[in-house]
Amino acid sequence: MYLLRAGLYNLSADTMKRWLVNLTDTTWKGFLLGIVITALLHSSSAVMIITIGLVAARILTFTQSIGIILGTNIGTTITAEIITFNIESTIIPMAIIGAILFFIKKSNYHNTGSILLGMSAVFGAMWGFETLAKPMKDMAYVKDLLLTLDNNLFYAVLAGAILTAIIQSSTATTGIIMGFLSAGTMNLDTGIAILLGANIGTCVDALVASIGSGREGKLTAFAHTWLNILGVAAFYPFIGLLANLGEFLSSQPDVQLAHISVIFNIIVSLIVLPFAGPFGKLILKIHDRKQPST
CA 165 – CA 228 distance, rounded (Å): 14
Neighbours of 180 (CB within 10 A): 26
> Does 294 reside within a domain?
no
> Does 292 reside within a domain?
no
Show the domain range for 126. 2-287
The total number of structural domains in the chain stands at 1
> Does 177 reside within a domain?
yes
Q: What is the pLDDT of residue 293?
A: 46
> Does 42 reside within a domain?
yes
Q: What is the 3-state secondary structure (H, E, C) of 22-84?
A: HCCCCHHHHHHHHHHHHHHHCCHHHHHHHHHHHHHCCCCCHHHHHHHHHHHHHHCHHHHHHCC
> Does 189 reside within a domain?
yes
pLDDT along the chain (294 residues), means of 10: 76 75 82 88 81 84 88 88 78 90 88 87 78 73 78 92 87 85 86 94 88 83 93 94 92 91 93 90 78 45
Counting Cα atoms < 13 Å in the Cβ hemisphere of 222 gives 20
Instruction: Report CA-CA distances (Å) from 128 to 132, 135, 198, 201, 254.
Output: 6, 12, 21, 23, 14
Q: What is the pLDDT of residue 57?
A: 81
Q: Where are the beta strands (DSSP E) in the chain?
A: none
Q: What is the pLDDT of residue 120?
A: 87
> Does 293 reside within a domain?
no
Predicted TM-score (pTM) of this structure:
0.81
Neighbours of 291 (CB within 10 A): 7
Question: Is residue 261 a contact partner of residue 76, using CB atoms and an 8 Å limit?
Answer: no
> Does 198 reside within a domain?
yes
Secondary structure of the chain: what % helix, strand, coil (to 5)? 85, 0, 15
> Does 101 reside within a domain?
yes
- Candidates 81, 253, 249, 120; CA nearest to 184 is 253
